[in-house]
């Protein structure tokens, strides 16, 4: 089945993530141990350097540049990355990008939406 919208209807029905970046939207599934967020960028988005609990992500469509602790990489469809807790990182996400992110909340009361700025 071809999905006409950004994500399948059941994901689109999840609560909207409260993201701080214009042009970046997301749908979130929460548990006590973590968050899973399906994100989409309808324009180029710069996410400034910040840090929070551990995260793992995979690019579902498009591409992004990611700087993790000063090491910059370009990620495209199917490539994943892991950012340990407390590590500074920043990203440039390009229009048309889609990604899935899992954030560890097991050792923190901070959510992704309340990330600490570096």
CA–CA gap between residue 74 and residue 103 (Å, rounded): 21
- 32 near 38, Cβ under 8 Å? no
Q: What angle do CA 97, 41, 115 make, to 5 degrees?
A: 110
pLDDT tens, position by position, 44-71: 999 999 999 999 999 999 999 999 999 9
Chain centre distance of CA 14: 16
- Output the pLDDT for position 105: 84
**In this structure, what token pair is assigned to residue 99?**
């990604």
The helix/strand/coil state of 17 is coil
Domain count, the chain: 1
Average pLDDT of every residue of the chain: 87
Classify residue 13: in a domain, yes or no: no
Residue 89: pLDDT over 60: yes
Per-residue pLDDT band at 103 (split at 50, 70, 90)? very high
The pLDDT, as a whole number, for residue 32 is 87
pLDDT score recorded for residue 74: 98
Mean pLDDT of 11-18: 92
113 pLDDT exceeds 80? no
In a domain, 11, yes or no: no
> How far, in Å, CA of 44 to CA of 97, rounded?
9
Query: Would you say residue 35 lies in a domain?
Result: yes
Look up the domain containing 91 and give its range. Answer: 22-107
Q: In this predicted structure, which of 25-34, 56-65, 83-92 has the lowest mean pLDDT?
A: 25-34
Q: List the CATH number of the domain containing 86.
A: 2.60.120.10
- Strand-pairing partners, residue 37, are 28, 101
Which two tokens mark 50?
């910040």
The stretch 83-108 carries a mean pLDDT of 91
Nearest to residue 79, comparing CAs of 53, 60, 105, 54? 60
């Amino acid at each position: 089945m071809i999905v006409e919208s950004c994500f399948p209807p059941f994901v689109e029905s999840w609560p909207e993530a409260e993201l701080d970046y214009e042009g970046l939207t997301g749908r979130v599934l929460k548990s006590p141990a973590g968050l899973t967020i399906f994100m989409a960028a309808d324009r180029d988005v710069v996410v400034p350097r910040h840090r929070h609990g551990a995260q793992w992500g995979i690019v579902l469509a498009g591409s992004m540049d990611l700087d993790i602790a000063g090491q910059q990489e370009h990620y495209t469809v199917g490539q994943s990355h892991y950012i340990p807790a407390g590590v500074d990182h920043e990203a440039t996400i390009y229009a048309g990008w889609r990604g899935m992110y899992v954030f560890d909340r097991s050792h923190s009361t901070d959510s992704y939406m309340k990330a600490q700025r570096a």
